[in-house]
Amino acid sequence: MITRETLDKYTPDFESGEVILIDKQLYKSSFDIVYKVRKAINIKKVGHAGTLDPMATGLLIVCTGKMTKQIASFRGLEKTYGGVITIGKTTPSFDIETEFDSESDFSSITVDMINETAKSFLGKSFQIPPVYSAVKHKGKSLYQFARKGIQIEKEPREIFISRFDILNIDLPEVRFQITCSTGTYIRVIANDFGKKLGCGAYLSRLRRTGIGQFDVGDSITINEFNEKYKAATLA
């Protein structure tokens, strides 16, 4: 496994299969990272174990070679995120990718209301994937339809939230940490959070800090990966 600790101590075998912990930067898609890894090591068989939105940063597990067969097992692990929900405004994408489409007064919102709302999300529930998402419909991602003004709703999916902590409140910003089942859209949680408060909300910042037992603190950036391995493969 390629981590921050093993980066200078380990000779990888990308064909036989490696697991790479990457700290994805802002504005890059998960596929962008896969493409860069593939190009750096000149191997076609590269994939990631769980999409991370372009507007989010943090831990992305990338597998190469024969380890791509293990992607499903990594994908099924619980995820932990830290981020900021901003109340009082909404966007069509539920995050900062699109422009604001509504604004509401939030002067009556209290700390107790925010904490109680967070508690209401704990446990099992059902969530409809956002129209701006990579979920497929007739072979195309939903966001491809949404950007053309066509909104297609998918069936609700079961999710489970085991932890939802409010870390700091400085209205309109609410800083949180959440641990949830795979397939949970934190953007949808933010939007639903605003609905429950009655003032709207959107996800203004998101960072994936953990996938199962794997921690973002052990990850490396794609630039660090390229600097270490691209030169070696070209030598």
Cis peptide before 172 (omega within 30 of 0): yes
Do 179 and 78 meet the contact criterion of CB atoms below 8 Å apart?
Answer: yes
Retrieve residue 146's tokens.
Answer: 């949404």
Pick the closest to residue 46 from 28, 57, 60, 27 (CA basis): 60
Verify whether residue 32 is a known catalytic residue: no
Which of 8, 13, 53, 95 is catalytic? The answer is: 53
Q: Cα–Cα distance between 83 and 70 in angstroms, integer?
A: 28
DSSP string, 110-166: -HHHHHHHHHTT-EEEEEPPPSSSS-EETTEEHHHHHTTT---PPPPEEEEEEEEEE
CA–CA distances in Å: residue 20 to residues 37, 61, 71, 141, 220: 10, 6, 12, 26, 8
Task: Please identify every residue annotated as catalytic.
Answer: 53
